[in-house]
A and B are shown apart, each in its own frame.
Chain A
Amino acid sequence: MKHASPISLKVNGDDYELSIPAWRTLLEVLREDLNLTGTKRSCQEGQCGACTVLLDGRPVYSCLFLAVEAQGKEILTIEGLARSAGALDPIQKAFVEKGAVQCGFCTPGLVMATKSFLAENPNPSEEEVRRAMVGHLCRCTGYFQIIEAILAAARERAGKGAQA
């Protein structure tokens, strides 16, 4: 059984050359090897959404994805979001302004899922927002402020001519 093999990952625009075994998940590698701890580890069963990152723009649970299979893809984590906008992303701003963050543990996953969702559906209804966020658990807010924040981010985004 071969242990570590060389792999290349592109995370938030940066290239990383790593030597890791195939049985490590993308979540483990992001947090433990790249120190990108904004992506949260929680249920590890694909139920809670805290570990959501984007692969080529699509949301995935990084606890259910092997790091070795993320090679050749653009990986975007919460750390890459704020940096690429120079300041907070409008989605992050909306979460802050609407009080959608309490303990904050579910927030990175929800923000990443929202990023992907609004890129595909810039003008969603509340029902569509609820459907899109079914894969995320929040134990503090009761979801109302989160849904409000996502709708506010959509309006903000639309107002600015849908910049990325």
Chain B
Amino acid sequence: MGNFRRLPRFDYLAPQTIDEACAVLAERPGDARLFAGGTDLLLQMRRREIAPRAIIGLKGVASLSFIRRQNGGVAIGAMTPFSAIESSPLIGEKHDFLCETAAGIGSPELRSVATVGGNLSGALPCADFPAPLITLGAVVRLRSARGERSLALEDFFRGFAETAAAPDEILIEIELPSRPACSAGAYLKFHDRHAMDMTTTGVAAFVTWDAEKRLVADVRIALSVSGPIPLRAKKAEAALRGRQVTGEALEEAALLACQEAKPRTSWRASKEFREELISVLTKRALRRAGEKAQAAAERGNA
């Protein structure tokens, strides 16, 4: 076999703590690449799309891998693999659609290695996890040798493979606020194969139901692969708030979501096909999240 299938050479740095990782990154700004699960980066390196001088392996930083209750919500460490998310009883109790989304990514072999932090930090338009997390109002915590800051996840993405993290900052944690009563989410995606495929387009919806007035108290909609970064469909949300989930309301929301999206034509699908998908998936995701939220209300909330 030829050398072209080997990885390019690099220095390998293995911090054991978050502080060590920040210090190592600060010493080599621009020249070292953070390395989480590595399932995307190793492919890019093998194809010579990137050739970092050094990689900072985070698998040894044990304090970055956890799922725990925090302030009534959930905190997820950036190095938590998708296999841990799909089987987490805590996440299943709070947001079952996140477990389903995790279980729909790649294969068991990829999910035991690929991490939530890598999925977000890679900032690729085809990533599945950003949209559902955005509908939950997720906040990311970034740490550097200079200190720590928090940022809403929807403000984290800046462009194709580009995030708001400074060159010396590490995404360490994703925080999900406490779930409102009578609320539920759904993430629906279209892809050509049953599994092991990139998402053509995906839509996440999170609905909070007002059990007394019997209408949508609040709703968030976020779109995957509908532009260079994950997008919130805020006009579609506004159109649904305070209404019942009728066919008419869904049509209106779907039309607005299409107008807010910026899909493009790629070899995978045309712009027009993606717009059609956004419309259909927005309606289905809203209907499913709405039904689950109403069911929660009828059970006396959960």
- A residues with a Cβ closer than 8 A to B are 1-2, 5, 21-25, 28, 41, 44-47, 49, 52, 55, 58-61, 64-66, 68-69, 113, 116-117, 131-132, 134-136
Contacts and interface: CB of A to CB of B under 8 A. Distances in A.
A132 B111 CA distance: 11
Interface residues of B, number: 31
B152 interface: no
B7 A23 contact: yes
A67 B147 CA distance: 33
Contacts, number: 87
Nearest to B58: A69
B36 to A, nearest CB: 11
B196 A60 contact: no
Q: Which 9 A-B pairs have the closest CB atoms?
A: A135-B107, A22-B12, A134-B195, A58-B112, A23-B7, A59-B109, A135-B109, A61-B109, A134-B107
A91 to B, nearest CB: 16
B10 A22 contact: yes
A44 B112 contact: no
B122 to A, nearest CB: 14
B6 A65 contact: no
A48 to B, nearest CB: 10
A132 B194 CA distance: 12
9 contacts: A1-B11, A23-B12, A24-B7, A44-B5, A66-B12, A66-B38, A113-B108, A117-B108, A135-B106
Contacts of A61: 39, 109-110, 113
B9 A46 contact: no
Contacts of B38: 64-66, 69
A46 B7 contact: no
Contact of A46 (B11, B43, B60, B83): B43
A2 B10 CA distance: 8
B42 A135 contact: no
B73 interface: no
Nearest to B53: A1
Interface string B166-201: 000000000000000000000000000011100000
Contacts of A131: 195
B108 A46 contact: no
